[in-house]
Amino acid sequence: MAAEIAKLGHTALVTPNMEKSLWFFRDVIGLEEVDHQGDTVFLRAWGDWEHHTLSLTPGSEARVDHMAWRAKQASDVDLFAEQLKAQGTPIQWIEPGEEKGQGRAIRFRLPNGYPFEIYYDIEKPKAPEDKKSRLKNNVYRPSNGIAPRRIDHVNVWTSNPGEVHQWLSDNMGFKMRESVRLSNGFVAGGWMSVTPLVHDIGVMLDPKGQSSRLHHLAYYMDNVTDILRAADILREYNIPLEMGGPGRHGISQAFFLYVKDPGSGHRLELFSGGYLIFDPDWEPIEWSEQELDSGLIWYGPQGSMEDTTPC
């Protein structure tokens, strides 16, 4: 039986200004501070059950330490390790507790350099009594800052997206949901998932030709009104809104708001709407180069967001 990925687990970021990044993600965005390990701080949204969906670690420059994916069962971690070693991909074993709250895991890099982690065992701590939701199917009461519900996806840039799309499909079971094909036949972007979400990861062409950069990580808001409220909160703190404010993507049909962590420059997308895919015979939707403007921005602000942080 082939090993399978269940979902996106967390993103581990390094920041040159830990104090400001923690203020941004905890006090303004409203992620809950869960735990510490040395200088690393672990956070999650009020609807996230796992120990953490984001970690922040101080460092000399902004970068991505790893993007983590949860396997469908514990034995899949070993199966992925065997599969990767068989094709010549170096792996690093992470022992239980080495990343706090998490069991045994593997870390490796995709051919273009993206740093991935695969794990299964993870703690699911309860919220403190003074923050605990009375709804048994929630973790926290949503009461702090912008307060997104849960982690949603990551978006990464590379010089050859098609190569990464194929690798993710062949080795981790990702399915293409939507894509952009240029007039010369080159696939410039793909939105892929292992869940019913329209994408757990987006892999896009880097116009600067770099092989592995994080464009953004995304957290999910329940509705577009929450996106507008988020814009108001960010402006109250004098934090610039990228491209001037919220809009809607054609691809994924989602409402969006982009903002940068002022401590690191890591980009965050607050994401709402979209659609779910349940059809087992889903046919990927392809957008042409001539349709690209509508695909990226259905309506809302226009602008460029080419600067990203290294993986």
- Express each pLDDT in 33-65 by its tens digit: 999 999 999 999 999 999 999 999 999 999 999
Closest to 155 measured CA to CA, from 76, 258, 33, 74: 258
Please give the Cα distance from 14 to 55 (Å, whole number): 8
Q: What is the CA radius of gyration of the chain?
A: 19
- Express each pLDDT in 185-226 by its tens digit: 999 999 999 999 999 999 999 988 888 999 999 999 999 999
Closest to 37 measured CA to CA, from 19, 27, 49, 51: 51
The mean per-residue pLDDT over the stretch 7-28 comes to 98
Domains, the chain: 5-119 (3.10.180.10), 150-310 (3.10.180.10)
Closest to 65 measured CA to CA, from 42, 96, 97: 42
The mean per-residue pLDDT over the stretch 244-271 comes to 96
The mean per-residue pLDDT over the stretch 227-241 comes to 96
Residue 268 pLDDT class (50, 70, 90 cuts): very high
Q: What is the DSSP letter of 281?
A: T
How far apart are the two ends of the chain, measured CA to CA in Å?
A: 31
Q: What is residue 133's predicted lDDT score, i.e. its pLDDT?
A: 93
What DSSP line would sit under 237-261, residue for residue?
TTPPPGGGS-EE-SGGGEEEEEEE-
Q: How far is CA 172 from CA 1, 77, 88, in A?
A: 13, 11, 16
Closest to 227 measured CA to CA, from 185, 263, 258: 258
The strand pairing partners of 268, in sequence order, are 217, 259
Please give the Cα distance from 230 to 245 (Å, whole number): 10
- Cβ neighbours around 287 below 10 Å, total: 19
Q: What is residue 308's predicted lDDT score, i.e. its pLDDT?
A: 76
Structure tokens at 103: 């069991």
- Cβ neighbours around 83 below 10 Å, total: 16
Strands 201-205 and 187-193, bridge-based pairing? antiparallel
State whether residue 175 is helix, strand or coil.
Answer: strand
Q: Which residues contact 287 (CB under 8 A, 6 or more apart)?
A: 178, 179, 180, 181, 250, 251, 294, 295
